């Protein structure tokens, strides 16, 4: 259909962007009249680079009572979220503050859901067996431009019992505020910067590759997010202390996943995310790397469904001048793959160094990715278990 489809857009997160943003945490939480805060962080980067200390200082200065819980694993675990939930209940926590990236923020969102719904098992929300209608407020102090959890409606957890990586996507998950100081990303290792760039691009392309036409403003916003991410990503990967590049990436990360770049699209694709989640669930692959490792195979498998869409992507994002749609489409795919390589990101499964994956392994991944052959994934081209298997191959 050639027009903007119906849409709803809700992005309530108040963003405080710029140097020193994290020092506002205490004052903002005090204004909300919260009495007891749980501060969550990951494996220790936030301690080592001083972000956590500055956040704690601001809580102390505002007279806020808080407890700190570190140890959130990247690709976070349900079991850890439940452990944190127990502690939060004992301390009568009424506000969750995540200091970190998607893993920490998603754990904070899970604990927030659990606190507000003591009668439920939070995993039921991720299995879509139940839909909660209330949560506890969450604030975000972002330290990595990547997952976009600081403005998204999503929380993604892995249940180690069965290695199930599942998401819970609800507006009540959106943080009330996000404190975004690009300087807090300076200590990121190159690999994590690369993963973040890929993830930001994929949140945009997974919405952009659609069969629908006519969402012109949405399309151009998506193309701008992609161009800015690509250009600044190349700088940031060489120099993590480049404020301008890091700030552009940080802002792009939030816009790529708050819904803006998919407005008016009835069905977003997200098949690379589904393919990638299965790799992360089974082999604990970093999220961004799981996406770059499957994108080339996915794109080559589906682009002939609608070459004109891939051709537009090639022309508007990569500046390809080729007039033939099929040729242009292939050039856009090639340029994307070359770009991922320039970031040192894997562009096929073997580059994830998971050891030799047998046909049986790949069949199992496909089986699990399609929830035991009970669902199909994607929208640009709907993929069944056999398609998924061919893409993993
Ligand atoms: O754990 P620490 O020590 O903090 O180290 C982390 C972690 O090892 C490190 N890091 C973060 N900020 C740093 C830093 N190291 C040095 N300096 C800094 N300033 O980076 C590593 C990765 O952190 P993580 O939070 O896992 O990264 P990301 O933001 O990429 O989040 C990935 C998780 O988010 C999920 C992914 O599936 C994955 O579980 N996603 C969440 C989404 C959402 N909630 O909307 C959407 C995404 O599509 C994604 O699925
Ligand atoms: Zn993602």
- The protein residue with its alpha carbon nearest to ligand 1, atom 7, reads 74
How far is residue 53's CA from residue 372's CA, in Å, rounded to a whole number? Answer: 45
The predicted pLDDT at position 4 comes to: 66
Q: Which ligand ends up closest to the CA of 143?
A: 1
Atom from ligand 1 closest to the CA of residue 196:
30
Q: Calculate how far, in angstroms, residue 221's C-alpha sits from the geometric centre of ligand 1.
A: 25
- Expressed in angstroms and rounded, the spacing between residue 51 Cα and the centre of ligand 2 is 24
Question: Which ligand places an atom closest to the C-alpha of 199?
Answer: 2
Atom of ligand 1 nearest to the CA of 185: 19
Atom of ligand 1 nearest to the CA of 277: 37
pLDDT given at position 3: 62
Pocket test for ligand 1, best of 77, 195, 287, 294 (most atoms within 8 A of CB): 287
Please enumerate in sequence order all residues whose Cβ is within 8 A of that of 296, keeping only pairs 6 or more positions apart, or say none. 333, 336, 337, 340, 347, 348
Q: 76 alpha carbon to ligand 2 midpoint, in Å?
A: 14
Which tokens in the block code for residue 73?
A: 């694993």
* Residue ranges for the chain with pLDDT beneath 70: 1-4
| Ligand 1 center from residue 138 Cα (angstroms) | 17
Query: ipTM value of the model?
Result: 0.99
**What pLDDT sits at residue 212?**
86
- Phi and psi for 390 in degrees, rounded to 5? -65, -35
Binding-site residues, ligand 1, Cβ < 6 A: 42-46, 49, 74-76, 100-104, 106, 143-144, 146-149, 152, 154-156, 184-185, 187-188, 192, 195-196, 199, 257, 273, 287
Global model pTM greater than 0.90: yes
- Which amino acid residue places its CA nearest to atom 3 of ligand 1? 43
CB-based contacts of 69: which residues, under 8 Å, 6+ apart?
38, 39, 40, 41, 84, 87
Q: Residues with Cβ within 5 Å of ion ligand 2? A: 199
The Å distance, Cα 177 to ligand 1 centre, comes to: 18
Q: What is the pLDDT at residue 2? A: 60
Query: Cα separation of 109 and 172, whole Å?
Result: 9
pLDDT of 262:
92
Q: Which of 101, 166, 188, 280 to mutate to test the pocket of ligand 1 (most atoms within 8 A of CB)?
A: 101
Q: Which structure tokens are listed for 320?
A: 């390809």
Separation of 90 CA from ligand 1 center, angstroms?
Answer: 27
Ligand nearest to the CA of 259: 1
pLDDT at 6: 83
Spacing, Cα 41 to ligand 1 middle (Å): 11
Closest residue by Cα to atom 14, ligand 1, is 188
42 CA to middle of ligand 1, Å?
9
């Amino acid at each position: 259909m050639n027009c903007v489809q119906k849409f709803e857009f809700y992005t309530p997160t108040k963003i405080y962007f710029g140097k020193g943003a994290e020092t506002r945490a205490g004052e903002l939480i005090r204004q909300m009249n919260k009495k007891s805060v749980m501060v969550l962080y990951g494996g220790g980067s936030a301690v080592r680079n001083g972000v956590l200390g500055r956040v704690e200082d601001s809580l102390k200065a505002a007279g806020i009572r808080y407890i700190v819980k570190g140890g959130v694993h990247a690709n976070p675990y349900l079991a850890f979220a439940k452990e944190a939930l127990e502690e939060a209940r004992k301390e009568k926590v009424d506000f969750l503050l995540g200091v970190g990236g998607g893993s920490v923020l998603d754990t904070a969102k899970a604990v927030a859901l659990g606190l507000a719904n003591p009668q439920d098992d939070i995993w039921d929300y991720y299995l879509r067996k139940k839909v909660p209608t209330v949560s506890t407020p969450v604030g975000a102090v972002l330290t990595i431009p990547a997952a976009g959890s600081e403005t998204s409606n999503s929380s993604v957890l892995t249940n180690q019992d069965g290695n199930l990586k599942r998401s819970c996507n609800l507006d009540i998950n959106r943080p009330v505020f996000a404190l975004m100081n690009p300087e807090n990303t300076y200590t990121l290792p190159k690999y994590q910067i690369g993963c973040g760039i890929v993830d930001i691009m994929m949140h945009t392309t997974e919405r952009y590759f659609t069969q629908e036409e006519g969402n012109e403003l949405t399309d151009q916003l998506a193309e701008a997010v992609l161009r800015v991410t690509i250009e600044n990503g190349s700088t940031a990967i060489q120099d993590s202390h480049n404020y301008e590049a890091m700030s552009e990436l940080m802002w792009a990360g939030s816009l790529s996943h708050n819904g803006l770049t998919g407005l008016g699209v009835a069905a977003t694709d997200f098949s690379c995310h589904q393919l990638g989640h299965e790799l992360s669930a089974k082999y604990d692959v970093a999220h961004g790397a799981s996406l770059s490792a499957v994108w080339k195979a996915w794109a080559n498998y589906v682009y002939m469904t609608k070459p004109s869409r891939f051709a537009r992507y090639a022309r508007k994002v990569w500046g390809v001048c080729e007039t033939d749609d099929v040729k242009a489409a292939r050039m856009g795919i090639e340029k994307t793959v070359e770009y991922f390589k320039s970031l040192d990101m894997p562009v096929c499964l073997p580059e994830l160094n998971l050891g030799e994956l047998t046909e049986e392994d790949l069949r199992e991944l496909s089986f699990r990715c399609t929830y035991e052959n009970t669902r199909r994934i994607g929208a640009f081209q709907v993929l069944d278990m056999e398609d998924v298997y061919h893409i993993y191959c």
